[in-house]
């Protein structure tokens, strides 16, 4: 059974921003623009959520974006020698996992590790 959690205004606003970012990152699977917008939003608004449970989500999203980008570029470059295709597939699975895990933790008002 889930208990009701009271959030202060800063946490509530941060949670909304983090939720929007998770959705934008998910839309980034179809076109990169929403993911870029989410990444910029994470960087600009991170100081606003420092000291709250939402800060861990911003860090999680930023790390997911940076490492996801690195491995997507690596996968594309190596796709000419076949090994890039499994790298791309594994990267997309990893990104989906992190987005789902983060969204579920955020929905439960918990930090993500």
Q: Domain of residue 27: give its range.
A: 16-107
Residue 23 lies in a domain: yes
Number of domains in the chain: 1
Decide if 26 is inside a domain: yes
Torsion angle of alpha carbons 5, 10, 13, 18, nearest 10°?
Answer: -80
pLDDT in tens, 9-58: 888 899 999 999 999 999 998 889 999 999 999 999 999 999 999 999 99
| Predicted pLDDT of residue 2 | 53
Q: What is the pLDDT of residue 7?
A: 76
DSSP-derived secondary structure letter, 80? G
If pLDDT is split at 50, 70 and 90, which confidence band does 4 have?
A: low
Residue 8 belongs to some domain of the structure: no
Is residue 41 one of the residues assigned to a domain?
yes
Phi–psi pair at 88, nearest 5 degrees: -60, -45
State the pLDDT confidence band at 1, using cuts at 50, 70 and 90.
very low
pTM assigned to the model: 0.89
Residue 112 lies in a domain: no
Please tell me the predicted confidence (pLDDT) of residue 3. 56
CA distances, 39 to each of 4, 30, 49 (Å): 30, 16, 15
When the pLDDT of each residue in the chain is averaged and rounded to a whole number, the result is: 93
Q: Is residue 10 part of a domain?
A: no
- As a whole number of angstroms, the distance between CA 54 and CA 67 comes to 20
Residues 6+ apart with CB under 8 A from 5: 109
In a domain, 100, yes or no: yes
Tokens of 110: 């918990």
Residue of 103, 34, 108, 30 lying closest to 65 (CA atoms)? 34
Report residue 74 as tokens: 């690596």
- Do 71 and 15 meet the contact criterion of CB atoms below 8 Å apart? no
């Amino acid at each position: 059974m889930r208990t009701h959690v009271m959030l202060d205004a800063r946490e509530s606003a941060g949670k909304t921003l983090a939720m929007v970012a998770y959705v934008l990152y998910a839309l980034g699977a179809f076109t990169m623009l929403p993911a870029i917008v989410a990444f910029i939003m994470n960087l600009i608004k991170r100081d606003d959520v420092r000291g709250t449970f939402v800060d861990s989500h911003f860090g999680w999203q930023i790390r997911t974006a940076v490492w996801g980008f690195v491995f997507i570029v690596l996968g594309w470059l190596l796709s000419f020698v076949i090994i890039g295709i499994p790298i791309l597939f594994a990267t997309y699975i990893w990104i989906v996992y992190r987005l789902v895990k983060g969204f579920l933790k955020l929905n439960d008002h918990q930090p993500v590790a």
